[in-house]
Chains A and B, each alone.
Chain A
Amino acid sequence: MTVLAQQIVLGLLLGGLYGLAAAGLSLVFGVLKVLNVAHGELIMLGGYGAYWLFALLGLDPFASLLLVIPGSLLLGALLFLVLFGFVVRAPEETRIKNSLLVGFGLALALHALAVRLFTADDRSISTGYGGAVITVGPIAIPVIRLASLLVALALIAGLHLLLARWRWGKAIRATAEDWQAALLTGIDIRRAYLLAFALGTALAGAAGTLVSVGYSISPSIGLEWTLKALIVVVLAGLGSMLGTFAAGLFVGVAEALSAAAFGGPYREVIGLVIFLVVLVLRPQGMFGRAR
């Protein structure tokens, strides 16, 4: 029983990162109608950013968020201007397909680049406080992972506030809902797209940082995290950042339960199966909007 509870807690902690990873993808897809399958690679890059800041400058990973997040914002803006800005010119149906393909090419290129620059080895950040654990009864909660969960929650709450109160946050939501009406209202939707994509990338970078300190990174984690993010987005549907976070927690716990029931190696499969079931049973329901 204790082992199960322990696994569930760990799953919950990981699920928070799934939620954060998914939030960025969800924002981009909801606003730009673009499915960036290189999202996982952006997470990977964020992780390497934090890793090298730690390895070369000794910067604590949680502190390096202050650098990784703005850096990722800029990277996102750049990727939009150079790449995805062209993809959004197509009408919605073609746009999704093109974004899938473009994202695929980008993922390949980024992955190959990372292998060249960083080698294919697994890397992880080991801080002095790395082994610290909070014990609640029989359950051990790793401090780093708990802190990561809290940071993830804070970032998502922050994004939620940004979208609710900030003038451009509202403009982003308006563009996501009805881009033509947004134009008629005087909103420069291209700038809304740019902001949304940059924010999405920033969230990915932050997620990567948290992954590098609590878990491990390598150039190959891209596909894995893209899939995780996709699973959570499909489950949660579009529109609510907090809902996405909750869905992330759900997937984390589902994985833990599945590992307990079917054995460790099958942990990954349950998420994918949930994904397929939801996708097939409600293909429009999750992604589609009620028009």
Chain B
Amino acid sequence: MRSPGGNTERAWTLGILLALGLLAFLPLLAPRDDVLNFVFLVLLSITLAQSWNIIAGYAGQVNLGHAAFFGLGALTARTLWIAGTPVVVAMAAGAAVATAFALLIGAAAFRLRGAYFAIGTLALGEILRTTVGNALPEISTLPAASIGAYRLAPRYYLALALAALSVLAVAGLARSRLGLGMVAVREDADAAEATGVSALALKLRALALSTALAGAAGGLFAYYHISYYPAHPFGPGWTFDALLMTFIGGVGTLQGPVLGAVLYVFLKEYLTVRWVDFHLLIFGVLFIAIVLIFPGGLVQAVERARGRIARRSGATT
């Protein structure tokens, strides 16, 4: 894993934000609905991937229960919004609930090292999914009036704003004290502690940021879909999607999750026609190749291909 910051990342940040800015004009061209839906999915995926990237790429913890926060955000936002709360407030509340839950379990969870944190969060995610599935087995559908008033545009712009926010969050993180501290902890927790960096506090802050974004993304999901099973956003598939997109793009980088998300959604939509989960087979194999050969994902592969050796100094060297 590499350390953040640097001119390449700044260039990428500007580039991505520019692209997002251009996408703001897309609805004005009155394209087909499925084009907008597709871009919406990409934007949601970018947010989800970046949120996972924060805890994995920067804090170095593999969170396999990420869907729990996505789901909590969705559940909270949906409930509030249907009850009449303005959607942005509902989404913010979703983010807050997700974060609160994360901090609640965070201290206990971070006592677990590496792999045990991963399987622990996996179990936690499943517990929530099962519990919600049992408590709310009925499909959640918007009231008729809302369905009639459904417009894609506001959802699209919210997705755009959230994606931009997630990119800015990661960009800001890279250069902030929080970000550098996280890199130090990730590289060598003991050394970092010795210099006064509290590993736990940093990890908790990373977790808070990560889950807030995930919760907001969940709220967006709840706002977007007309009907779905309340347990659906808690499903492990969402975690795995985030994992795949981030790793394949390049975990710990700014542009990685974005590239990964775009590639992932493209392949998913393109391949779904003939074989429903084919994209998962491809990504599964690709993922293995990345773990074993290109831990830095596409970003690393591209850099190697261009013969550029980006030497970035870590905070502790």
Chain A positions within 8 Å of B, measured between CB atoms, are: 35, 37, 83, 86-87, 93, 96-102, 104-113, 115-116, 223, 227, 230-231, 263, 265-266, 268-269, 272-273, 275-276, 279-280, 283, 287
Choose one: B108, B124, B280; the contact of A112 (CB below 8 Å). B280
CB–CB B292/A86 < 8 A:
yes
CB–CB A266/B124 < 8 A:
no
Choose one: A102, A104, A112; the contact of B281 (CB below 8 Å). A112
CB–CB B284/A105 < 8 A:
yes
Choose one: A105, A110, A116, A272; the contact of B287 (CB below 8 Å). A105
With contacts A109-B281, A280-B111 known, is A102 near B288, CB below 8 A?
yes
Residues of chain B lying within 8 A (CB to CB) of residue A105: 283-288, 291
Question: With the chains together, A101 CA to B291 CA distance in Å?
Answer: 7
CB-CB nearest 9 A-B residue pairs = A109-B284, A108-B284, A105-B287, A112-B281, A265-B134, A105-B288, A112-B277, A112-B280, A96-B115
Binding site of A, secondary structure by majority: helix, strand, loop or mixed? helix
State the Cβ distance, A95 to closest chain B Cβ, in Å.
9
| Of A96, A101, A106, most B-chain CB atoms within 10 Å | A101
CB–CB A116/B278 < 8 A:
yes
With contacts A86-B292, A98-B291, A106-B288 known, is A280 near B236, CB below 8 A?
no
CB–CB A276/B123 < 8 A:
yes
User: From B276, which residue of chain A is reached at the shortest CB distance?
Assistant: A115
User: From A98, which residue of chain B is reached at the shortest CB distance?
Assistant: B291
Choose one: A99, A115, A279; the contact of B120 (CB below 8 Å). A279
The range of chain B's interface size is: 35 or more
State the Cβ distance, A83 to closest chain B Cβ, in Å.
7
With contacts A227-B122, A227-B126, A269-B130 known, is A112 near B284, CB below 8 A?
yes
Question: With the chains together, A227 CA to B275 CA distance in Å?
Answer: 27
Choose one: A99, A108, A266, A279; the contact of B116 (CB below 8 Å). A279
With contacts A35-B115, A35-B119, A100-B115 known, is A116 near B281, CB below 8 A?
yes
Question: With the chains together, A107 CA to B62 CA distance in Å?
Answer: 17
Question: With the chains together, A104 CA to B290 CA distance in Å?
Answer: 12
Find residues 245-295 in chain B having any chain A CB closer than 8 Å to their own CB.
Answer: 247, 275-278, 280-281, 283-288, 291-292
Question: With the chains together, A269 CA to B123 CA distance in Å?
Answer: 9
Residues of chain A lying within 8 A (CB to CB) of residue B81: none
Residues of chain B lying within 8 A (CB to CB) of residue A98: 291-292
Answer whether residue B172 sits at the interface, using C-beta atoms and an 8 A cutoff: no
State the Cβ distance, B109 to closest chain A Cβ, in Å.
8
Residues of chain A lying within 8 A (CB to CB) of residue B275: 116
Question: With the chains together, A7 CA to B111 CA distance in Å?
Answer: 36
CB–CB B123/A227 < 8 A:
yes
User: From A280, which residue of chain B is reached at the shortest CB distance?
Assistant: B108
Question: With the chains together, A116 CA to B284 CA distance in Å?
Answer: 14
Residues of chain A lying within 8 A (CB to CB) of residue B288: 83, 102, 105-106, 109
Residues of chain B lying within 8 A (CB to CB) of residue A227: 122-123, 126
| Of B127, B133, B243, most A-chain CB atoms within 10 Å | B127
Choose one: B109, B127, B130, B243; the contact of A104 (CB below 8 Å). B243
Chain B positions within 8 Å of A, measured between CB atoms, are: 62, 108-109, 111-116, 118-120, 122-124, 126-127, 130-131, 133-134, 236, 240, 243-244, 247, 275-278, 280-281, 283-288, 291-292
User: From A29, which residue of chain B is reached at the shortest CB distance?
Assistant: B115
Question: With the chains together, A283 CA to B247 CA distance in Å?
Answer: 27
CB–CB A101/B127 < 8 A:
no
Choose one: B111, B130, B247; the contact of A265 (CB below 8 Å). B130
Question: With the chains together, A283 CA to B278 CA distance in Å?
Answer: 37
Choose one: A100, A106, A266; the contact of B284 (CB below 8 Å). A106
CB–CB B114/A96 < 8 A:
yes
State the Cβ distance, A127 to closest chain B Cβ, in Å.
31
Question: With the chains together, A275 CA to B280 CA distance in Å?
Answer: 28
Question: With the chains together, A265 CA to B285 CA distance in Å?
Answer: 34
Question: With the chains together, A269 CA to B118 CA distance in Å?
Answer: 18
Choose one: B116, B133, B284, B285; the contact of A283 (CB below 8 Å). B116
CB–CB A102/B291 < 8 A:
yes
Choose one: A93, A109, A266, A268; the contact of B280 (CB below 8 Å). A109
Question: With the chains together, A257 CA to B134 CA distance in Å?
Answer: 18
Choose one: B62, B133, B243, B285; the contact of A109 (CB below 8 Å). B285
CB–CB B111/A268 < 8 A:
no
CB–CB A101/B277 < 8 A:
no
Residues of chain A lying within 8 A (CB to CB) of residue B283: 105, 108
Residues of chain B lying within 8 A (CB to CB) of residue A101: 62, 247, 287, 291
With contacts A97-B115, A116-B275 known, is A108 near B134, CB below 8 A?
no
Between A and B, 16 residue pairs with Cβ closer than 8 Å are A97-B114, A98-B292, A107-B284, A108-B287, A109-B288, A112-B281, A115-B276, A116-B281, A227-B123, A263-B134, A272-B123, A279-B112, A279-B119, A279-B120, A280-B120, A283-B112
CB–CB B240/A100 < 8 A:
no
Question: With the chains together, A231 CA to B114 CA distance in Å?
Answer: 17
CB–CB A276/B287 < 8 A:
no
Residues of chain B lying within 8 A (CB to CB) of residue A109: 280-281, 284-285, 288
Residues of chain A lying within 8 A (CB to CB) of residue B115: 35, 96-97, 99-100
Residues of chain B lying within 8 A (CB to CB) of residue A111: 277, 280, 284
Question: With the chains together, A68 CA to B111 CA distance in Å?
Answer: 41
User: From B135, which residue of chain A is reached at the shortest CB distance?
Assistant: A265
Residues of chain B lying within 8 A (CB to CB) of residue A263: 134
Question: With the chains together, A101 CA to B109 CA distance in Å?
Answer: 19
State the Cβ distance, B86 to closest chain A Cβ, in Å.
34
* Sample of 6 further A-B pairs with CB below 8 A, known A102-B292, A104-B240, A266-B134: A100-B115, A105-B286, A106-B284, A227-B126, A279-B112, A283-B116
